[in-house]
Amino acid sequence: MQRTRRRVLQAGAALSIGTLAGCLSSPNSGSETTLDPPMVGNEDAPVLVESYEDFTCKYCRLFHLEIFPQLFSEYVETGAVQFKRRDYPFLDPEWSWKAASAARAVQDQQDDATFFEYASRLYQNFDQYDLEMFATQADSVGADPEAVRSAVRNERYLSTLEAEKESGNERNVSKTPTVFVNGSRPESPRYVHLKAAIESELESSGD
């Protein structure tokens, strides 16, 4: 767990959240290697928190770098919450998909904990997306940079990303980040609302 904690929390930047309005989606839906969504936390946790994110969404950046570390420290590490990150690439027809594909290549090569570390590095370099940056950051977390380049060029995880986006469409996701707590949407992805929803679920479960 120490290794996971270090990777998840290392990119907790000093960012101001204010209001997480979210990046809005248009009603559009979307091939080879398929992967499950990356997860962290106890499989038997009474609460499942799922976030739908786009790597080109500035609100997702704020969520991942500031809110997620709080969630991890208070609820994931204690075993109360399992966190699942889902892709919802829609904002940029090129880089939303390429960044997500690079991250899934790292997940496939390494593990879910490394995915979260890599995702933090992508969000930290939010305005510098290109193949070389993806490769450089992959190397920094111990993944093969050339394999990441190849995965992005060849759309190796397209079917995974399309399935994730369709999952979001089926759940009426229209902006990012959209967060679910045991299948229900809190008032917003802000931490105060997530915490209230989680505490309500924990009270209901008796934990």
> For strand 47-53 and strand 81-87, is the pairing parallel, antiparallel, or unpaired?
parallel
**What is the model's pLDDT at position 207?**
65
In this structure, is residue 37 part of a structural domain?
Answer: yes
* HSE toward the beta carbon, residue 5, CA cutoff 13 A: 9
In this structure, is residue 23 part of a structural domain?
Answer: no
In this structure, is residue 6 part of a structural domain?
Answer: no
Long-range (24+ apart) CB contacts under 8 A made by 192-195 are 194/49, 194/67, 194/71, 195/74
> For strand 47-53 and strand 178-181, is the pairing parallel, antiparallel, or unpaired?
antiparallel
What confidence tier does 96 reach under pLDDT thresholds 50, 70, 90?
Answer: very high
Reading the block at residue 161, the tokens are: 């990303």
Please state which of the ranges 7-11, 53-57, 137-141, 178-182 shows the lowest mean pLDDT: 7-11
**What is the model's pLDDT at position 26?**
44
In this structure, is residue 79 part of a structural domain?
Answer: yes
Give 181's strand partners. Answer: 49, 184
Q: Please report, rounded to a whole number, the percentage of residues in the chain having pLDDT higher than 70.
A: 85
**What is the model's pLDDT at position 21?**
60
The b-or-e profile of 59-95 (16+ CB within 10 A means b, else e) is bbbbbbbbbbbebbeebbbeebbbbbbbbbbbbeeee
Counted domains in the chain: 1
Report pLDDT digits (tens) over 76-92: 999 999 999 999 999 99
In this structure, is residue 9 part of a structural domain?
Answer: no
In this structure, is residue 133 part of a structural domain?
Answer: yes
3-class DSSP state for residue 26?
A: coil
Report pLDDT digits (tens) over 9-49: 544 433 433 446 677 654 333 346 799 999 999 999 999 99
The predicted model gives 95-119 an average pLDDT of 98
- Residue 108's CATH number: 3.40.30.10
CA distances from 89 to 46, 55, 99, 117 (A): 29, 7, 9, 19
In this structure, is residue 10 part of a structural domain?
Answer: no
What is the pTM (predicted TM-score) of this model?
A: 0.86
**What is the model's pLDDT at position 205?**
85
Please state which of the ranges 13-22, 39-48, 62-71, 122-131 shows the lowest mean pLDDT: 13-22
In this structure, is residue 107 part of a structural domain?
Answer: yes
Q: Please name the residues in contact with 71: beta carbons below 8 A apart, sequence gap of 6 or more.
A: 49, 81, 83, 191, 194
Give 52's strand partners. Answer: 86, 178
The residue with greater pLDDT, 120 or 207, is 120
Structural domain harbouring 37 = 32-205
